[in-house]
């Protein structure tokens, strides 16, 4: 019965459902930006570009509302379930201060992982997940240095503080005497870790830039988290008592290479390629204080995202943007779990910036993430009798992300 | 400029309202079809197995997992229905009160307790709060009455409190009968059913079986008013009642329905958990018992001779008691009727004879139940015999009295099994004919029960078998099913509906239904 402690994939969800929302301007252009010198959003996308910003002080801040829902059904049994996720609210704050022509300092705060999946309690897949919430806040001081006119570098250490709260039923059937399903909540907060990112920006001509950015892998070590068991029948046959746990949750490294090209005064085109090194996520192992360990195979594979964006300066005060990306899922066949309802997706994005004053602009973006309907299953759940019990069905996901932000220049 | 923002906001809100949509959603009206059946008002008739009875009683979560309730939930995925109501009890403890006092024999549910000696069924310690005097207001789609026999569904007064006081009614039906003099079937047809299931007749033979055959096989007696609780109903009585129930339901508008026949009674865990050869002996014990029964035979020979029976005949009769025991497993002895050929009224069990789950297993292991209760005094007499001495009449009687064969109530012998099988076969023949005559779907529970006990039913997390406590089919009373077992019944009913009425009712995944409940409370 101890194998029932799969913490499933708190992180999986984050990774699997990571929708880039680290800047309204970038997001509106398909979340491209590694080679786009546009705003302090560069703090996230490529700090090497900060030194190229025109103003002495540039600040970009914003917030989005992530409306992401998943539906699952099984036509053999006629069961259907839909998530009822509260809107996620990822935010970002980027500031860049130019000390001189060759050196800029910056500070970025962003939330690359932060979302919620909430299925109806006791739904058909409740032995895998009832609900999960995950949040990680990245805080990163930055330095950006122009080595030569055609090349600059930038980077800095990343401080991460994260939390996870995850609930699922212990098995498909265990309940207390009244039939209330036995479940566990695993909660860890204030988990901190360090990482780093570094980027380089080549400026071939005034119109053509090439950017490279690498963000390091960060393994979150949750230590002494709380495991809370509810509705456990009073019997030695179900020896579940509240305890603590340790677990490691990898946030994989990401490499981005991209181009930006200013077609003319009004048009700018951008292309980014992301490679996320999800291969590090082989298994999620949770060690409980009572000496038991739960092993949950994930077997992710490195995945790629191709992003395309365009920007058009409609008037001297209004800039319009649009973009598209194709996002490859790291989840492999047979590992498709309902807290990671992630197959390949396409993002369609649009947005605008409106200069309210010469210093202040309002940035807005909107993204629609489209997933194909997919028949998939998770085949690595081991039940209380040691039996491998697949959980499958048809999944369909969709996400809408409106966002608003400001850019301030001084 | 503000307009841009406004439009953007409207656009965003409009799209946010969207939900993920399947190409063929299963909750679409046309996802499944009821075929020629109409599930809009489904009424279930039956006994405990239809009520959701489990672990020796009726309790709330058992009712929620009754096969009719599971079926109704699947029907609701196929067409719009009027819902499905059940006469729910008050708690998950089970048991019944009458005016605040526990009804004798209606105890709390069995749970799997764990003590120092290991896991074993025990009665749950929670309070009983379901009072029979609290009459529910119906109608109820699930009209199943635990304990009901076939003809009792047609018996006026079966739900009368007054009759209950004279022990002539059923407390479960008293709880929800629409009027004291109504019948179960009358309350069912008053609901204008469009569809029905009927699983009745089990108790017409089953109560005899679980009593260890202490009842009477009433085959040939056509007057059920003369039957005792533990008797086998005459097959003609069953046939008459069964045909009448079905024709009344069909005439009331439930032209489509499903009949479930009677399972192979003796395949239940109740009869297959305590093996008849559980008497495991070492060489010394075997020799001791063999010696004892030789002494019994010798003493009885002498007794017969003293009663003027010729020596050869006396020896021939008494020799059946010189039972030989061997090292390893041996079959127990059971009581049988005293006859001229078996004047002591016991013999060793045969291979197919069965012991009941309720037998005192500690007595089997420790008190010589099923063989002999050999006291030191008996040992003394045996010693005298061994030394070639002559015991007194009293001492000889002491030896004979030590024989401790298994009571009739704890076992099913060959003749009892034959009576059960004959009645079951006769009932099932009737059910088959009635199904055909009325174009109703038939579920062969008899074949299913044999399949479960012989090979099991595979499902997504293993194999469902009839093994007690661990097999998954039987609840802790060894007779009624677990929720997983009832889910299996629901799937069999669905299979029959789909093939008979060209419907596509989706089945359930039985792996999602629980089995027995462990609890030390």
How do residues A149-184 score in pLDDT, each as one tens digit? Answer: 999 999 999 999 999 899 999 999 999 999 999 999
Q: Which of residues 271-310 of B touch A (CB under 8 A)?
A: none
Question: How far apart, in whole angstroms, are the C-alpha atoms of residue B174 and residue A257?
Answer: 78
In this structure, are B268 and B294 located in the same domain? Answer: no
Q: Which two tokens stand for residue A25?
A: 């301007």
Question: How far apart, in whole angstroms, are the C-alpha atoms of residue B365 and residue B347?
Answer: 19
pLDDT of A6 over the 50 cut: no
Half-sphere exposure of A188 (CA within 13 A, CB side): 24
* Residue in A235, A385, A390 nearest the CB of B519: A235
Please list, in sequence order, all residues whose beta carbon lies within 8 angstroms of the beta carbon of residue B216, skipping any fewer than 6 positions away.
B227, B228, B230, B231, B232
In this structure, are B114 and B259 located in the same domain? Answer: yes
Confidence class of residue A383 from pLDDT cuts 50, 70 and 90? confident
Residue A282 domain boundaries: 2-409
Conformation bin of residue A56: beta by default, left when phi > 0, alpha when psi is -120 to 50: alpha
Q: Is the dihedral of CA A39, A42, A48, A50 positive or negative?
A: positive
CATH number at residue B441: 3.40.50.1110
- Residue B119 near residue B110, CB atoms below 8 Å: no
Q: Is A368 close to B15, i.e. CB distance below 8 A?
A: yes
In this structure, are B394 and B422 located in the same domain? Answer: no
In this structure, are B475 and B496 located in the same domain? Answer: yes
- To the question of pTM greater than 0.95 for the whole model, the response is no
User: Rounded to whole angstroms, what are the CA distances from B188 to B136, B143, B509, B515?
Assistant: 15, 7, 30, 30
Half-sphere exposure of B110 (CA within 13 A, CB side): 22
Residue B18 placed within a domain: no
pLDDT of A19 over the 70 cut: no
DSSP B1: -
Domain final residue, candidates B386, B411, B436? B411
In this structure, are B298 and B337 located in the same domain? Answer: yes
Compute the count of residue pairs across chains A and B with CB atoms less than 8 Å apart: 131
| A65 vs B contacts (CB less than 8 Å) | 16
CB atoms within 10 A of CB A386: 10
In this structure, are B141 and B114 located in the same domain? Answer: yes
Please list, in sequence order, all residues whose beta carbon lies within 8 angstroms of the beta carbon of residue A376, skipping any fewer than 6 positions away.
A333, A336, A343, A392, A393, A394, A395
Residue B133 domain boundaries: 42-273+414-512
Average pLDDT over residues A84-110: 94
* Residue in A78, A175, A352 nearest the CB of B4: A352
Domain final residue, candidates B411, B435, B451? B411
pLDDT of A9 over the 60 cut: no
Residue B430 placed within a domain: yes
ipTM of the complex in this document:
0.89
Place of tokens 């708690």: B91
Phi, psi of A43 (to 5 degrees): -55, -35
pLDDT of A14 over the 50 cut: no
Domain final residue, candidates B411, B441, B473? B411
- Give the minimum alpha-carbon distance from B197 to chain A in angstroms, rounded to a whole number: 21
In this structure, are B467 and B367 located in the same domain? Answer: no
* Residue in B15, B509, B520 nearest the CB of A234: B520
Number of domains present in the structure of chain B: 2
Q: Which two tokens stand for residue B82?
A: 């009027």
Of A100, A109, A191, A111, the residue nearest A142 (C-alpha): A109
User: Rounded to whole angstroms, what are the CA distances from A383 to A4, B285, B488?
Assistant: 7, 44, 20
| A123 vs B contacts (CB less than 8 Å) | none
What are the tens digits of pLDDT across the range B305-347?
999 999 999 999 999 999 999 999 999 999 999 999 999 999 9
- Residue A132 near residue A116, CB atoms below 8 Å: yes
What are the tens digits of pLDDT across the range A313-372?
999 999 999 999 999 999 999 999 887 778 899 999 999 999 999 999 999 999 999 999
- Give the minimum alpha-carbon distance from A176 to chain B in angstroms, rounded to a whole number: 8
In this structure, are B75 and B208 located in the same domain? Answer: yes
Q: Which of residues 443-462 of B touch A (CB under 8 A)?
A: 460-462
Chosen for mutation from B1, B13, B20, B72 (greatest number of chain A CBs closer than 10 Å) is B20
Residue B520 placed within a domain: no
User: Rounded to whole angstroms, what are the CA distances from A35 to A55, A226, A269?
Assistant: 18, 43, 10
pLDDT below 70 — which residues of chain B?
1-18
Residue B331 placed within a domain: yes
What are the tens digits of pLDDT across the range B67-93?
999 999 999 999 999 999 999 999 999
**Mean pLDDT across chain A, nearest whole number?**
90
**pLDDT recorded at residue A283:** 84
- Give the minimum alpha-carbon distance from A367 to chain B in angstroms, rounded to a whole number: 9
Helix (H) or strand (E) holding A186: strand A183-203
Q: Is B5 close to A71, i.e. CB distance below 8 A?
A: no
DSSP string for residues in A67-106: EEEEEEEETTTTEEEE--PPPB--EEEEEEEEEETTEEEE
In this structure, are B375 and B423 located in the same domain? Answer: no
Pairing of strands B110-115, B118-123: antiparallel
In this structure, are B94 and B235 located in the same domain? Answer: yes
CATH number at residue A56: 2.40.160.60
Question: How far apart, in whole angstroms, are the C-alpha atoms of residue A27 and residue A199?
Answer: 19
Residue B25 placed within a domain: no
Please list, in sequence order, all residues whose beta carbon lies within 8 angstroms of the beta carbon of residue B12, skipping any fewer than 6 positions away.
A366, A400, A402
**pLDDT recorded at residue B265:** 87
Residue B29 placed within a domain: no
* Residue in A77, A82, A236 nearest the CB of B509: A77
- Residue A319 near residue A310, CB atoms below 8 Å: no
- Which residue of chain B is at minimal alpha-carbon distance from A389? B461
Residue B19 placed within a domain: no
- Which residue of chain A is at minimal alpha-carbon distance from B113? A235
Q: Is A76 close to B507, i.e. CB distance below 8 A?
A: yes
In this structure, are B136 and B263 located in the same domain? Answer: yes
Please list, in sequence order, all residues whose beta carbon lies within 8 angstroms of the beta carbon of residue B498, skipping any fewer than 6 positions away.
B35, B504, B505
Question: How far apart, in whole angstroms, are the C-alpha atoms of residue A394 and residue B32?
Answer: 17
Check CB contact of B30 with chain A, cutoff 8 Å: no
CA–chain centroid gap for A113, Å, is: 4
In this structure, are B219 and B261 located in the same domain? Answer: yes
Number of domains present in the structure of chain A: 1
Q: Which two tokens stand for residue A7?
A: 């913490």
Residue B69 placed within a domain: yes
Check CB contact of B518 with chain A, cutoff 8 Å: yes
Of B502, B26, B165, the residue nearest A71 (C-alpha): B26
Check CB contact of B328 with chain A, cutoff 8 Å: no
């Amino acid at each position: 019965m101890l194998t029932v402690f799969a913490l499933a994939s708190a992180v999986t969800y984050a990774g699997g459902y990571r929708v880039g929302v680290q800047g309204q301007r970038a997001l509106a252009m398909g979340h491209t930006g590694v080679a786009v010198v546009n705003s302090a959003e560069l703090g996230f996308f490529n700090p090497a570009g900060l030194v190229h910003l025109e103003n002495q002080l540039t600040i970009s801040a914003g917030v989005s509302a992530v409306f992401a829902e998943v539906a699952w059904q099984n036509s053999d049994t006629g069961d259907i379930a839909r998530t009822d996720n509260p809107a996620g609210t990822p935010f970002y704050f980027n500031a860049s201060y130019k000390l001189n022509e060759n050196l800029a300092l910056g500070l970025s705060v962003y939330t690359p992982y932060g979302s919620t999946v909430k299925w109806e309690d006791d739904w058909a897949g409740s032995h895998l997940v009832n609900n999960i919430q995950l949040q990680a806040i990245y805080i990163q001081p930055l330095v950006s240095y122009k080595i030569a006119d055609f090349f600059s570098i930038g980077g800095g250490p990343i401080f991460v503080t994260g939390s996870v709260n995850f609930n699922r039923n212990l098995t498909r059937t265990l309940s207390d005497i009244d039939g209330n399903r036995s479940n566990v909540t695993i909660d860890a907060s204030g988990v901190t870790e360090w990482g780093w990112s570094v980027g380089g920006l080549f400026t071939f001509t005034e119109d053509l830039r090439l950017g490279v950015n690498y963000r390091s892998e960060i393994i979150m070590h949750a230590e002494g988290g709380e495991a809370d068991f509810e509705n456990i029948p009073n019997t030695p046959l179900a020896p579940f008592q509240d305890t603590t746990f340790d677990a490691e949750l990898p946030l994989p490294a990401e490499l981005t290479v991209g181009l930006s090209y200013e077609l003319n005064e009004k048009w700018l085109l951008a292309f980014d390629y992301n490679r996320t090194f999800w291969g590090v996520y082989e298994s999620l192992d949770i060690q409980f204080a009572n000496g038991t360990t739960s092993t949950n195979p994930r077997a992710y594979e490195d995945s790629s995202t191709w992003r395309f964006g365009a920007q058009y300066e409609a008037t001297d005060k209004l800039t319009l943007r649009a973009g598209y990306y194709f996002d490859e899922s790291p989840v492999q066949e047979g590992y498709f779990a309902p807290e990671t309802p992630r197959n390949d997706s396409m993002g369609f994005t649009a947005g605008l910036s409106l200069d309210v004053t010469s210093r202040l602009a309002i940035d807005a973006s909107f993204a629609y993430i489209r997933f194909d309907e997919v028949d998939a299953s998770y085949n690595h759940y081991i039940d209380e009798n040691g039996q491998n019990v697949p959980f499958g069905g048809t999944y369909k996901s969709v996400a809408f992300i409106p966002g608003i932000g400001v850019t301030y220049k001084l | 400029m503000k307009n841009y923002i406004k439009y953007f906001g409207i656009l965003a809100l409009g799209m946010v309202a969207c939900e993920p949509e399947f190409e063929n959603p299963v909750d679409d009206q046309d996802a499944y079809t009821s075929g020629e059946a109409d599930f809009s008002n489904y009424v279930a008739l039956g006994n405990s197995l239809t009520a959701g009875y489990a672990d020796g009683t009726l309790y709330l979560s058992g009712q929620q997992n009754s096969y009719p309730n599971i079926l109704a939930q699947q029907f609701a995925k196929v067409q719009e229905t009027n819902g499905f109501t059940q006469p729910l009890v008050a708690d998950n403890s089970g048991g019944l009160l009458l005016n605040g006092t526990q009804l004798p024999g209606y105890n709390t549910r069995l749970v799997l307790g764990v003590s120092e000696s290991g896991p074993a069924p025990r009665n749950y310690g929670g309070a009983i709060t379901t009072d029979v005097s609290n009459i529910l207001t119906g109608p109820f789609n699930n009209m199943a009455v635990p304990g009901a026999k076939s003809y009792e569904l047609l018996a006026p007064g079966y739900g009368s409190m007054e009759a209950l006081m004279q022990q002539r009614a059923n407390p479960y039906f008293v709880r929800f009968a629409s009027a004291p003099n109504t019948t179960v079937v009358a309350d069912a047809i008053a609901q204008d059913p469009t569809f029905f299931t009927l699983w009745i007749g089990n108790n017409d033979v089953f109560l005899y079986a679980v009593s260890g055959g202490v009842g009477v096989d009433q085959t040939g007696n056509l007057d059920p008013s003369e039957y005792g609780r533990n008797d086998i109903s005459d097959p003609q009585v069953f046939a008459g009642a069964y045909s009448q129930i079905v024709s009344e339901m069909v005439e009331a508008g439930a032209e489509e329905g499903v009949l479930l026949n009677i399972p192979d009674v003796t395949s239940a865990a109740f009869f297959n958990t305590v093996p008849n050869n559980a008497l495991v002996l070492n060489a010394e014990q075997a020799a001791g018992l063999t010696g004892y029964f030789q002494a019994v035979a010798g003493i009885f020979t002498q007794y017969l001779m003293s009663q003027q029976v010729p020596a050869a005949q006396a020896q021939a009769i008494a020799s059946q008691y010189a039972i030989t025991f061997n090292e390893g497993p041996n079959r127990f002895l059971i009581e049988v009727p005293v006859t001229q050929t078996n004047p002591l009224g016991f013999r060793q069990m045969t291979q197919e004879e069965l012991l009941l789950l309720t037998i005192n297993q500690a007595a089997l292991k420790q008190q010589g139940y099923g063989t002999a209760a050999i006291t030191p005094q008996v040992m003394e007499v045996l010693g005298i015999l061994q030394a070639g001495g002559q015991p007194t009449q009293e001492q000889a009687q002491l030896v004979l009295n030590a024989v401790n064969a298994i009571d009739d109530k704890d076992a099913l012998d060959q003749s009892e099994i034959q009576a059960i099988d004959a009645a079951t076969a006769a009932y099932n023949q009737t059910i088959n004919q009635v199904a055909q005559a009325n174009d109703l779907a038939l579920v062969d529970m008899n074949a299913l029960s044999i399949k479960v006990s012989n090979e099991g039913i595979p499902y997504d997390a293993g194999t469902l078998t009839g093994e007690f406590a661990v097999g998954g089919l039987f609840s802790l009373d060894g007779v009624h099913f677990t929720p997983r077992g009832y889910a299996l019944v629901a799937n069999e009913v669905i299979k029959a509906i789909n093939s008979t009425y060209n419907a596509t009712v989706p089945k359930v995944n039985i792996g999602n239904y629980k089995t027995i409940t462990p609890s030390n409370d």
